[in-house]
């Protein structure tokens, strides 16, 4: 038995990708709900056979509770706005965390819901990582999914799930699919490669800031660091690398051993190590999708994305990074 209903339409909200189509809610009895219904029908048959009014009353009471539980269970998903978090990312072999928030557009107090994926034996159910303190507050949800292999992964079958009250019914509302990136598993015994003679900076500008040095006669006054002078009482000047930059740390697939996946794992380990050390590094995965030297979280994720999308067409890899 299944009951399909449609809830009110929700619109996208700014940066969040809320569902825009009318939400369809599928209502199914659980195993406990099926047993509950069979018990009510059995009592009704006994009441008809023996003409017992008390058994009639008990049978109709149990049946009315079963029907009211269905209405309450469906009501938990009506009017909810789904606000997904940024696309999830993980290393191969780790758990892929899908997160988001649900918010009641009507500001009503409701029973908790969960985030789920898949059906049957492959069904996975997440947990609520926060609680709504007031009516209308957003409820944070999380769901962990396995990520055995690297690459671009489409997470379909996501849905909001409600079992309250009594667990007699299961209400499910489908959510839009998400795209996730699974990076290669960082592994390998090779240390970080030595510096290459190629300059690290691609733009010939005044240079990157390299720190401060004691003032020497002849240094231009515009480079005097007045904050350091006020704090230490000694004049100091800012040092720049002149725009050419120091030697770049190039992470090249040709320096790795093994097959394609082994080289990608080694490159991934180098990227993680270089980022932890605060180094400026570039990436040459060996497929023409090189990444110029840089540093910072955006550069770090762009390098990992190139490793995750290795083997895809240039257009697809550019879209993923």
Q: Kindly give the pairing relationship between strand 127-128 and strand 169-174.
A: unpaired
The closest alpha carbon to 278, from 298, 295, 257, belongs to 295
Same domain, 112 and 239: no
The reported pLDDT for the residue numbered 160 is 92
Same domain, 263 and 131: no
Average pLDDT, stretch 203-221? 67
More confident of the two residues 88 and 203: 88
Percentage of the residues of the chain whose pLDDT score is greater than 90: 37
Residue 19 has pLDDT above 90, yes or no: no
Residue 3 has pLDDT above 60, yes or no: no
pLDDT band per the 50, 70, 90 thresholds, residue 270: very high
Same domain, 158 and 44: yes
Q: Which residues pair with 29 in a beta bridge?
A: 169
* DSSP 8-state class, residue 95: E
Domain that holds residue 98: 1-180
The reported pLDDT for the residue numbered 222 is 77
Instruction: Specify whether the CB–CB gap between 111 and 73 falls below 8 A.
Output: no
Same domain, 23 and 162: yes
Q: Round to whole Å and give the CA distance between 313 and 288.
A: 11
Residue 21 has pLDDT above 60, yes or no: no
| Tens of pLDDT, residues 123-161 | 888 877 655 555 567 888 899 999 999 999 998 889 999
The reported pLDDT for the residue numbered 246 is 53
What DSSP string describes 256-303? --SSHHHHHHHHHHHHHHHHHTT--EEEE-SSS--EEEE-SHHHHHHH
What is the total count of domains within the chain? Answer: 3
The reported pLDDT for the residue numbered 247 is 60
Same domain, 238 and 310: no
The reported pLDDT for the residue numbered 278 is 79
More confident of the two residues 193 and 110: 193
157 CB neighbour count, 10 Å cutoff: 15
Average pLDDT, stretch 71-100? 89
Q: Kindly give the pairing relationship between strand 127-128 and strand 139-146.
A: antiparallel
| Tens of pLDDT, residues 277-318 | 878 888 999 888 889 888 788 999 999 999 999 988 655 555
The closest alpha carbon to 126, from 152, 166, 88, belongs to 88
Same domain, 282 and 218: no
Q: Kindly give the pairing relationship between strand 89-91 and strand 178-183.
A: parallel
Q: Is 178 exposed, middle or buried (0-12, 13-18, 19+ CB in 10 A)?
A: buried
198 CB neighbour count, 10 Å cutoff: 11
Same domain, 213 and 123: no
> What kind and span of H or E run contains 127?
strand 127-128
Average pLDDT, the chain: 81
Same domain, 195 and 272: yes
Same domain, 232 and 145: no
Same domain, 225 and 284: no
Q: How far does the chain reach from its first CA to its final CA, in angstroms?
A: 45
Instruction: Specify whether the CB–CB gap between 245 and 206 falls below 8 A.
Output: no
Q: Which residues pair with 169 in a beta bridge?
A: 29
Residue 54 has pLDDT above 90, yes or no: yes
Same domain, 150 and 4: yes
Same domain, 314 and 176: no
């Amino acid at each position: 038995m299944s009951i399909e209903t449609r809830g009110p339409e929700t619109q996208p909200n700014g940066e969040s990708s809320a569902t825009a189509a009318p939400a369809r809610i599928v209502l199914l009895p659980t195993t406990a709900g099926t047993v509950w219904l069979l018990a009510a029908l059995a009592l009704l048959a006994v009441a008809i056979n023996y003409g017992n009014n008390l058994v009639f009353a008990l049978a109709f009471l149990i049946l009315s509770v079963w029907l009211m539980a269905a209405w309450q269970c469906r009501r938990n998903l009506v009017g909810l706005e789904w606000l997904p978090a940024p696309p999830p990312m993980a290393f191969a072999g780790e758990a892929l965390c899908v997160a988001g928030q649900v918010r009641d557009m009507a500001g009503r107090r409701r029973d908790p819901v969960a985030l789920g994926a898949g059906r049957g034996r492959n069904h996975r159910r997440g947990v609520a990582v926060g609680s709504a303190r007031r009516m209308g507050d957003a409820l944070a949800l999380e769901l962990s999914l396995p990520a055995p292999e690297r690459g671009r992964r489409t997470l379909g079958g996501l849905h909001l799930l409600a079992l309250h009250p009594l667990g007699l019914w299961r209400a499910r509302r489908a959510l839009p699919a998400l795209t996730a990136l699974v990076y290669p598993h960082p592994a390998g015994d090779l240390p970080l490669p030595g510096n290459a003679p190629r300059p690290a900076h691609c733009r010939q500008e005044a240079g990157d800031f390299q720190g401060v040095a004691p003032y020497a006669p002849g240094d231009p006054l515009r480079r005097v660091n007045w904050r350091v002078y006020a704090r230490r009482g000694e004049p100091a000047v800012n040092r720049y690398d002149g725009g050419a930059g120091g030697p770049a740390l190039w992470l090249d697939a040709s320096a790795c051993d093994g097959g394609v996946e082994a080289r990608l794992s080694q490159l991934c380990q180098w990227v993680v190590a270089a980022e932890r050390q605060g180094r400026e590094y570039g990436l040459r995965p060996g497929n023409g999708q090189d990444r110029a030297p840089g540093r910072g979280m955006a550069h770090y994720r762009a390098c990992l994305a190139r490793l995750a999308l290795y083997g895809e067409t240039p257009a697809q890899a550019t879209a993923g990074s």
